[in-house]
Amino acid sequence: MESWYVMPHPPLALPEVGQGRESQIAATLSAFSLVGEDIARRNPDTVIILSPHGAFFRDAVSVVDTPVLSGDMARFGAPQVRLSFPINRELAEAVILSAEDIPVNGHSPFLRLDEQAAQRYGVELTIDHGAFVPLYYAFPSAVNRGDTLKGLPSLVHITCGMLPLSRLYELGKRIRRAADRFGGRTICIASGDLSHRLSRSGPYSYSPAGAAFDALIVDILKRGAFAEISGIDEALAEEAGECGLRGFAMLAGMTGGASPEKPEVFSYEGPFGVGYCVAAGVF
């Protein structure tokens, strides 16, 4: 594996959704551009994307298994904005099989989310907004291409479940092992907002835990001290109203607990009462 990225997913970051409000998160948009440039230089074959907003389960991490995954921003008033990517089904299969020896409640912690499973659980096979927003900026040439997928990287779309941070950390190790065995140029994007309780005008009620949680995550990212993520107080995280910690725990496992080179935090801001952090590093 080559590189990793932490990216938030505010729908209003898309001009088609924000309708001008995106100008209030200029630092985030500038950082998104830097991420896009770095990814373009690396020209990955496969993108492992960790999202907190796909098919979410309490005792499993879902892995999409379908030839092509598509999505749009209709939920946010912009149905004309669409993305489609091929799925790397071979690597998805390797990820699913990688943790059969550490079952949760009698089943593999990785749930294969194919069409049959999606129908059974009443969930959609789609690029959820947690994945959509980072992919929109990471691969601008993919926007509104329809079925013309030639030249695009394949995805391994993973939605983090409500497993303990220590278990998610271990699953991150399994993902990394599967990816390294598979080969090719692979990157990982961990999508996640930080606290939603930074201000009294935010989407949730204000809590001082919000700023404390965000400062902790940003500090860990700056130092590349990923091993510390699995030890974060989950009561603090819950009080902060975050939505990225579980994906960060999986990314931490993928790094082996530390980044070989000092990561770079491109930006952090929270003008809408939600913490947005953009960071990057290498495996």
Q: How confident is the model at residue 124 (pLDDT cuts 50, 70, 90)?
A: very high
Q: Given a cut of 90, is residue 184 above it in pLDDT?
A: yes
- In sequence order, what DSSP letters do the residues of 9-56 get, joined into one string? --GGGSHHHHTTGGGGGHHHHHHHHHHHHHHHHH--SEEEEEESSSS-
Place of tokens 């391994």: 156
pLDDT digits (tens, 9 = 90+) for 201-213: 888 999 999 999 9
Question: CA 257, CA 254: separation in Å to the nearest integer?
Answer: 8
CB 240 within 8 A of CB 209: yes
Paired with 95 in beta bridges are: none
The pLDDT, as a whole number, for residue 221 is 97
Rounded to an integer, the average pLDDT of 190-219 is 96
Q: How confident is the model at residue 253 (pLDDT cuts 50, 70, 90)?
A: very high
Domain ranges of the chain: 3-282
Q: Given a cut of 90, is residue 248 above it in pLDDT?
A: yes
Rounded to an integer, the average pLDDT of 185-205 is 95
> pLDDT over 90 for what percent of the chain?
93
Q: Given a cut of 90, is residue 44 above it in pLDDT?
A: yes
> pLDDT over 70 for what percent of the chain?
100
The pLDDT, as a whole number, for residue 148 is 86
Angle 251-91-174 (CA atoms, 0-180°, nearest 5)? 40
The pLDDT, as a whole number, for residue 33 is 98
Q: Which fold has domain 3-282?
A: Protocatechuate 4,5-dioxygenase; Chain B (3.40.830)
Rounded to an integer, the average pLDDT of 103-122 is 95
Question: CA 61, CA 250: separation in Å to the nearest integer?
Answer: 10
Q: Given a cut of 90, is residue 174 above it in pLDDT?
A: yes
Angle 280-139-9 (CA atoms, 0-180°, nearest 5)? 60
Structure tokens given for 180: 């390294």
Structure tokens given for 88: 């790397």
